[in-house]
Structure 1
Amino acid sequence: MWAFLQHLSFWDWLALGTVLLILEVFGAGGYLLWIGMAAAAVGVLTFVVPDLSWELQFLLFGLLSIATALYWWRRQRSAVRQSDEPNLNLRGQELIGKTFVVHEAIVDGRGKIKVADGVWMARGPDAVTGSRVRVTGQQGAILLVEPAE
């Protein structure tokens, strides 16, 4: 093992970098990409300066790996931004505050309202078919309603 470490060549580092880049393909979220790039950078540096000791090579690899992983982490954090439409994939949330017509009378707190070309279950005070209600909230697939004014 010591003989291998003392005779590390740039090919070893390039092979490690290649293996890490291949593993990145299987979904590591970008981290193995940058660590693979650090291994490739140490390989190039070892090609340019072949007399680097194995300790220095490992130290450079560790420092470059940490630096590139931190760079990737910061870049990912800064890329997160607020959406223009925060309720885009929260079905029903966009209906809160809007007024709709009762499709099936709300009796004992349960009924249905007509929303565009669909019908939603509704919970709220009793209301007759055809009356208007305003959506005040949502519990799963049930819209909470109150009489519209």
Structure 2
Amino acid sequence: MEWLSTWDVWHWLMLGFGLLIAEIIVPGIFLLWWGLSALVVAGLMALFPALSFSTLSFIFAILAIFLSLIWWKYQRNRDYLDDQKTALNQRDHAMIGAKGIVEEVSANGIGRGRFGDTTWRIKGERLQIGDTIQVQSVQGITLNVKNVL
């Protein structure tokens, strides 16, 4: 059982490469950071062979958690920005800037407009049937439009 507490450089290398291979098999960008941490610890052990197993294990744990949190924060910000730019499954937001024709209008400025082969609920000022309109913004299921001259 003594071999469990006396790791050499190659033990850390095997752990690091094992985790990297596991990341390839089970993708998720989580084991990558733990594997890289093990490789860094192997490098530290090669440079400073007097470091104890407990010190190296502590460095490994702190580094793995730190790298995982840094990646999580980076990816979370990137996902948020991607969600802001995408129009995937948000056809109403993809309609901004689209031009159409007013088909129906009521007294309060709400009506229906045709955009391609689809009609949408629209809201705008001084709309008349047959006017060409352009989508300015989206509020729920209503397209806010303005007349295009």
TM over 0.5: yes
Amino acid at match of 2:101: V
CA distance in 1, matches of 2:140, 2:76: 32
User: Could you say what secondary structure the match of 1:52 adopts?
Assistant: coil
Q: Within 2, Cα distance between the matches of 1:147 and 1:13? A: 65
CA distance change for structure 1 residues 23 and 95 in 2, over 3 Å: closer, same or farther?
Answer: same
Matched with 2:19 is 20
SS of 2:91 mapped into structure 1: coil
TM-score, normalized by length of structure 2? 0.60
Aligned to 1:4: 3
Q: Which amino acid aligns with 2:92?
A: G
Distance 1:130 1:120 in 2: 13
- Runs ≥4 residues deviating over 6 A: none
2-side partners of 1:77 and 1:62: how far apart? 22
| Cα deviation code 1:52-88 (max 9, x no counterpart) | 33212212212322343344345446767857xx565
Q: Work out the number of aligned pairs and report it.
A: 139
Counterparts of 2:146 and 2:45, CA distance in 1 = 76
Structure 1 residues 123 and 32: CA distance shift in structure 2, 3 A: same
Q: Deviations over 1:63-121 (max 9, x none)?
A: 322343344345446767857xx56513223545876313x5468x875x332x43223
Output one character per residue of 1:28-47: Cα deviation in whole Å (capped at 9) or x when no partner: 23x43222111012123333
Is the contact made by 1:133 and 1:145 (CA closer than 8 Å) also made in structure 2?
no
TM-score by structure 1 length? 0.60
- 1:93 corresponds in structure 2 to 93
* C-alpha contact 2:9 2:45 (8 A) present in aligned 1: yes
What residue in structure 1 maps to residue 114 of structure 2? 114
Indicate the structure with greater helix content: 2
In structure 2, C-alpha distance between the alignment counterparts of 1:144 and 1:75, rounded to whole Å: 34
What are structure 2's unaligned runs of at least 5 residues?
none
- Call closer, same or farther: CA 1:134–1:56 in 2, change over 3 Å: closer
- 1:54 matched to 2:44? The reply is no
Q: Is the Cα–Cα contact under 8 Å of residues 99 and 148 in structure 1 kept in the other structure?
A: no
Residue 48 of structure 1: how far off its partner (Å): 4.0
